[in-house]
Amino acid sequence: MKITDIQFGMLRVPLKTPFKTALRTVNQVEDIVVMVHTDTGHIGYGEAPATAVITGDTHGSIIDAIRHYISPRLIGQDVADLNRLAGLVQSSMEKNTSAKAAVEIALYDLWGQLYKAPLYKLLGGGDPVITTDITISVDYIDKMVADSISAVERGFESLKIKVGKDIGVDIERVKAIYAAVEGRALLRLDANQGWTAKQAVYALQTLEDAGIKLELVEQPVKARDLAGMRYVTERVHTPVMADESVFGPMEVIELIRLRAADIINIKLMKTGGISNAIRIADIAAMHGIECMIGCMLETSISVAAAVHVAVAKADVITKVDLDGPSLCQFNPVDGGVIFNESEISVTDAPGLGIREIRGLETDIAA
């Protein structure tokens, strides 16, 4: 199975409700879809969101990276040489992790199609059903409480509460949500870098002293502030998770060396795809550190790939934040992973199992 062409499309899907974090507000998913064509007629699918505030990637940079740096290395190559091709993708240029992820995901999809097996089985197999949390956007307290109750009524047993806007209000936000859903859902906080280390310790100790048990706190301080991450980790009982602080395996090794977090959030859009996500899971497992697998604002194309990784690496990926498809007003994908609110199931269709993507705009400019 030889690669003959790589094409792009733009996929726009409105969100059910605006997605608000300490870093940004978004109303719709607008992702680049990558289609890797082969001489056998098989097509591999990948997807890349332009999360400029986290990865630095924009629509233009994703297309440019694939068109001018990644694609020329792959045309004519054999999909059976997957590891070598993943290496070509990773070494094509610095950074640009979302572009690399989209192409790698499509290559892994084709690899599964080549061997007529679902990706998770080729990655080692596992229980085909996993459970995700859902994000509660940062907002007025009453709105966050109402959104949390609604999520619990939809069956979500784990809520990812966005904070990081104002330390005093954040504490009140968490207290109010905890009181509203206590005993019915676990609370994860994500400050998206919005606090200083001292603020984070103050907020978390205040919540702990009030008897509020949190499952974890994600990225309390600035991405590059590893000393701050360590400061928080050493001073609170709540497990601290690194998100924006870690992209690839080298950063994970450094984070572990510094003991700067308790848990690692793996996202394909930070790792540059599946190969490095697996490396990080293996490094974490060797050090006895748990991982979450997360996503950006992505649909069920790239999130499907993350699901296959989560299923195959469930020994170390013990937490799942793959709510992108649940945040969308509709699923544009026919076939593939089944997203049913908190329950996500892989099927035994080859690769990612994607048959068709509806509403794809293929006339996008460079």
Phi, psi of 281 (to 5 degrees): -60, -40
User: How far from each other are the two terminal CA atoms of the chain, in whole angstroms?
Assistant: 28
Instruction: Assess 218 for contact with Mg ion (CB under 5 A).
Output: yes
User: DSSP 3-state assignment of 222?
Assistant: coil
Q: Which of 243, 256, 276, 283 binds ligand LOXFGALJ (CB under 6 A)?
A: 243
225 binds, among Mg ion, ligand LOXFGALJ, none (CB under 5 to 8 A by kind): none
The amino acid sitting at 115 is Y
Q: Which of 31, 321, 325, 337 binds ligand LOXFGALJ (CB under 6 A)?
A: 321
CB 89 within 8 Å of CB 34: no
CB of 261 to Mg ion, least distance (A): 12
CB 30 within 8 Å of CB 59: yes
162 catalytic residue (yes or no): yes
116 catalytic residue (yes or no): no
Angle 167-181/141-153 helices, nearest 10 degrees? 30
Draw the binding track, 227-246, toward Mg ion (x: CB under 5 A; -: no contact).
Answer: ----------------x---
Dihedral class, residue 11 (left if φ above 0, else alpha if ψ from -120 to 50, else beta): beta
CB of 297 to ligand LOXFGALJ, least distance (A): 4
Instruction: Assess 160 for contact with ligand LOXFGALJ (CB under 6 A).
Output: yes
Binding segment for ligand LOXFGALJ (CB under 6 A), chosen from 55-63, 144-152, 318-326, 339-347, is 318-326
- Give the angle subtended at the CA of 82 by the CAs of 314 and 112, to the nearest 5°: 60
CB of 191 to ligand LOXFGALJ, least distance (A): 9
321 is in an annotated binding site: yes
CB of 336 to Mg ion, least distance (A): 24
> Out of 20, 100, 121, 267, which one is annotated catalytic?
267
The amino acid sitting at 159 is L
- d(C-alpha 242, C-alpha 232), whole Å: 11
Q: Kindly tell me which of 12 and 24 has the beta carbon lying closer to ligand LOXFGALJ.
A: 24
CB 7 within 8 Å of CB 78: no
147 is in an annotated binding site: no
CB 176 within 8 Å of CB 187: no
Q: Kindly tell me which of 109 and 243 has the beta carbon lying closer to ligand LOXFGALJ.
A: 243
Q: What tokens were used for 63?
A: 């297309």
Instruction: Assess 297 for contact with ligand LOXFGALJ (CB under 6 A).
Output: yes
Total chain residues near ligand LOXFGALJ (CB under 6 A) = 16
Residues that bind Mg ion (CB under 5 A): 190, 218, 243
Point out the residues that are catalytic: 162, 267
